C-alpha cells in the first residue's frame, strides 16, 4: 500500500492542499500522516486497542522494525531533526483514547487536542524547514484548531466508539455515548456544545494563520489553503441545523474545495 493512500483516504483536505507543495516535501508529509494515522487506527479498532498501540510504540522504540512506515518515519525524523518530545507527546495522547474518555473542561479539551494533533502540527513545521522559533507555537495552534474541528464534526462517530470529547462543563446534565446515538434523545444541548467547540477553534485558526508568515514562501499558500478548508467544516456545522448535523456527515465537497482554493489564492496574495 502506498503511503500516499493514508493522506488521500483519511485526510482529503490535506491531500488537496498538499498538491501545491513540492513533491518531495509532500512525500515526507505523507509519511508523517501515515505514521500518525496508523497509530490512531489501532486505537479506533477498540478490541485490544491498548495492547495494539503498546506493541506499536514498543516497535517504534526498537532499533530495527519490520514496520515499513515506522522505518520511513524514523528517517524523516532524523532528516528534519524532529524532537523526541513531540513523538512522545503524540504517543501519550493516543494512549489516552484507550481509556474511558472524560473531558471535564475547555482547558482539558485543548490539552488533549495538543497531544493528538498539536504535536503533528509541530512535526509538520520541522518538515517545512522553518527556523523561526515562533513558528512551532503557531503550528501547534493550527493542529489544535483542526482537532477541535474533528471533535465537533465526529461527535456521533466517536459516540459509536463509546467516546465523548465534549467538555462536561459545556453540558448541563450527564450524557453518555448511548444517549448521543439515540434518535429519541433531545440533542439541543449537544448541538450547543458542538457550536462552542467551533467557536473555540476559531482563535486557534487565527493563531495558526498568523504563523504562516514564518514559513518558507513555497509552503505558505498550501498551509493557508489546508487551514481554510478545514475551518470551512466548522463554519458549515454552525450554519447547519440540528437534524442535518445528526443525520449526515458534514464535509467540504469537490466544487466547494475548488471555490475555496480560488478564493484563498486571492486572499493569500493580498494578505501575505
Mean pLDDT confidence for 196-209: 97
Nearest partner of 226 among 117, 135, 142, judged by Cα: 142
- Residue 135: is its pLDDT beyond 80? yes
- Phi, psi at residue 99, to the nearest 5°? -105, 175
Task: Let me know how long the chain is.
Answer: 272
Mean pLDDT confidence for 167-179: 87
- Residue 239: is its pLDDT beyond 70? yes
Cβ count near 8 (within 10 Å): 16
Mean pLDDT confidence for 132-154: 96
Are 194 and 245 in contact, with CB atoms under 8 Å apart? Answer: yes
* Residue indicated by cell numbers 488537496: 16
123's grid cell: 512535526
Q: With respect to CATH, is domain 4-271 assigned 1.10.600.10?
A: yes
pLDDT of residue 247: 87
Q: What three-state secondary structure class fits 216?
A: coil
Q: Could you tell me the residue ranges of all domains in the chain? A: 4-271
- Residue 37: is its pLDDT beyond 70? yes
- Residue 16: is its pLDDT beyond 60? yes
Nearest partner of 85 among 109, 61, 45, 115, judged by Cα: 115
- Residue 271: is its pLDDT beyond 80? no
Are 147 and 208 in contact, with CB atoms under 8 Å apart? Answer: no
pLDDT of residue 269: 83
Are 187 and 246 in contact, with CB atoms under 8 Å apart? Answer: yes
Amino acid at each position: 500500500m502506498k503511503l500516499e493512500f493514508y493522506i488521500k483516504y483519511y485526510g482529503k483536505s490535506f491531500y488537496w492542499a498538499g498538491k501545491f507543495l513540492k513533491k518531495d516535501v509532500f512525500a515526507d508529509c505523507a509519511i508523517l500522516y501515515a505514521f500518525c494515522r496508523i497509530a490512531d487506527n489501532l486505537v479506533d479498532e477498540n478490541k485490544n486497542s491498548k495492547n495494539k498501540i503498546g506493541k506499536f510504540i514498543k516497535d517504534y522504540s526498537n532499533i530495527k522494525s519490520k514496520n515499513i512506515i515506522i522505518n520511513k518515519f524514523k528517517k524523516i525524523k532524523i532528516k528534519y531533526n524532529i524532537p523526541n518530545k513531540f513523538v512522545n507527546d503524540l504517543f501519550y495522547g493516543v494512549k489516552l483514547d484507550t481509556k474511558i474518555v472524560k473531558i471535564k473542561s475547555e482547558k482539558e479539551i485543548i490539552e488533549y487536542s495538543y497531544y493528538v494533533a498539536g504535536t503533528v502540527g509541530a512535526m509538520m513545521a520541522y518538515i517545512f524547514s522553518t527556523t523561526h522559533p515562533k513558528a512551532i507555537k503557531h503550528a501547534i495552534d493550527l493542529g489544535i484548531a483542526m482537532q477541535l474541528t474533528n471533535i465537533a464534526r465526529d461527535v456521533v462517530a466517536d459516540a459509536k466508539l463509546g467516546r465523548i470529547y465534549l467538555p462536561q462543563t459545556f453540558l448541563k446534565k450527564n450524557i453518555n455515548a448511548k444517549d448521543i446515538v439515540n434518535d429519541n434523545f433531545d440533542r439541543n444541548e449537544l448541538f450547543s456544545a458542538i457550536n462552542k467547540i467551533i467557536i473555540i477553534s476559531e482563535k486557534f485558526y487565527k493563531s495558526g494563520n498568523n504563523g504562516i508568515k514564518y514559513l518558507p514562501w513555497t509552503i505558505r499558500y498550501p498551509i493557508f489553503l489546508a487551514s481554510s478548508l478545514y475551518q470551512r467544516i466548522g463554519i458549515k456545522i454552525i450554519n447547519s441545523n440540528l437534524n442535518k448535523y445528526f443525520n449526515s456527515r458534514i464535509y467540504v465537497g469537490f466544487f466547494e474545495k475548488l471555490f475555496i482554493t480560488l478564493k484563498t489564492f486571492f486572499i493569500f496574495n493580498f494578505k501575505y
